[in-house]
């Protein structure tokens, strides 16, 4: 059986994995958008 400490550990791991996934996705999107901004000259 899993005690309350086990459930707390699982919940903590879920939060950590979610945070890492969000941070990685954010970094990827920011890098992609800045790459697009660099490649295209400003249309004026």
pLDDT in tens, 2-21: 899 999 999 999 999 999 99
- The percent of residues in the chain predicted with pLDDT above 90, rounded, is 73
Both tokens assigned to 21? 């996934």
pLDDT for 40 equals 77
Q: How far apart are CA 37 and CA 35, in angstroms?
A: 5
pLDDT of amino acid 37: 84
* pTM of the predicted model as reported, rounded to 2 decimal places: 0.68
Q: How many domains, the chain?
A: 1
**Which pLDDT belongs to residue 32?**
95
H-state helical runs in 1-44: 4-39
Kindly state whether residue 44 falls inside one of the protein's structural domains.
Answer: no
Please indicate, yes or no, if residue 33 is contained in any of the structural domains: yes
Residue 16 lies in a domain: yes
Q: Which domain holds residue 20?
A: 1-39
Report the pLDDT averaged over residues 16-43.
Answer: 91
Phi then psi for residue 25, to 5 deg, are: -60, -45
Residue 32 placed within a domain? yes
- Tell me how far the alpha carbon of residue 17 is from its chain's centroid: 9
């Amino acid at each position: 059986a899993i005690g309350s400490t086990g459930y707390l550990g699982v919940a903590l791991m879920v939060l950590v994995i979610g945070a890492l996934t969000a941070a990685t996705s954010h970094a990827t999107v920011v890098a992609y958008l800045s790459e697009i901004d660099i490649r295209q000259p400003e249309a004026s």
